[in-house]
């Protein structure tokens, strides 16, 4: 469902995470969680403890995972999830610094872009969009950035 007056952000976050456990258990198992979502904005987290690698930093794939998830969250918060589902077409991740703590990933789309995606999906059954995410450690330092291309498609 789209974000509207009937579902507040916290409820949507809880629904999304419950759905994640069921729908993408491998991602859920990495500890990736949505913590905030609204039309055009999603924030996720991934924990250090279970993703520590041999250098003491976080596993590169866990950083990928938390960023990649945001495209799905933005799509589900913006489009009618009973009629459309999100997929990822491609993604670029740039590792800036080792992540030594839990990591937050934030991605935003402006309202005009969201409206265009929804309009195109409604009209043609699918729409493509790009999403940039910034990943920061507990001190606010950027540890990675991503650029992804996603599609929403009619079920």
Which residues between 34 and 63 bind its own copies (CB under 8 A)? Answer: 50-55, 59-62
DSSP-assigned states of every residue in 3-55: -BTTB-HHHHHHHHHHHHHHH-HHHHHTT-EEEEEETTEEEEEE-SGGGB-TT
The token pair at 60 is: 């590169």
Which residues between 73 and 132 bind its own copies (CB under 8 A)? Answer: 85, 87-95
Contacts of 46 (CB under 8 A, 6+ apart): 30, 31, 32, 33, 58, 62, 63, 65, 66, 102, 103, 105
Nearest to 95 by CA among 49, 142, 40: 142
Q: Which stretch binds its own copies (CB under 8 A): 9-17, 21-29, 102-110, 133-141?
A: 21-29
Nearer Cβ to its own copies, position 5 or 56? Answer: 56
Least distance in angstroms from the C-beta of 89 to its own copies: 6
Nearer Cβ to its own copies, position 46 or 114? Answer: 46
Least distance in angstroms from the C-beta of 27 to its own copies: 6
**If binding means CB under 8 A, how many residues of this protein chain bind its own copies?**
31
In degrees and rounded to multiples of 5, residue 40 shows phi and psi of 85, 5
Place of tokens 């935003």: 108
Nearer Cβ to its own copies, position 13 or 46? Answer: 46
Interface residue with its own copies, options 4, 5, 6, 22 (CB under 8 A): 22
Residue 26 binding its own copies, by CB under 8 A = yes
Per CB under 8 A, residues contacting its own copies are: 22-27, 29-30, 50-55, 59-62, 64-65, 68, 85, 87-95
């Amino acid at each position: 469902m789209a974000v509207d007056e009937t579902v507040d952000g916290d409820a949507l976050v809880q629904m999304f995470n419950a759905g994640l456990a069921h729908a993408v258990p491998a991602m859920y198992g990495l500890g990736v969680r949505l913590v905030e979502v609204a039309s055009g904005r999603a924030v996720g987290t991934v924990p250090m403890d279970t993703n520590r690698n041999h250098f003491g930093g976080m596993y590169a794939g866990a950083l990928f995972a938390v960023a990649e998830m945001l495209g799905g969250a933005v799509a589900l918060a913006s489009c009618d999830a009973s009629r459309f589902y999100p997929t990822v077409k491609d993604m670029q991740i740039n590792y800036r610094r080792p992540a030594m703590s839990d990591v937050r990933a934030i991605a935003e789309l402006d309202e005009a872009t969201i409206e265009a995606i929804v309009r195109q999906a409604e009209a043609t059954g699918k729409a493509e969009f790009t999403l940039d995410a910034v990943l920061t450690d507990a001190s606010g330092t950027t540890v990675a950035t991503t650029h992804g291309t996603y599609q929403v498609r009619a079920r």
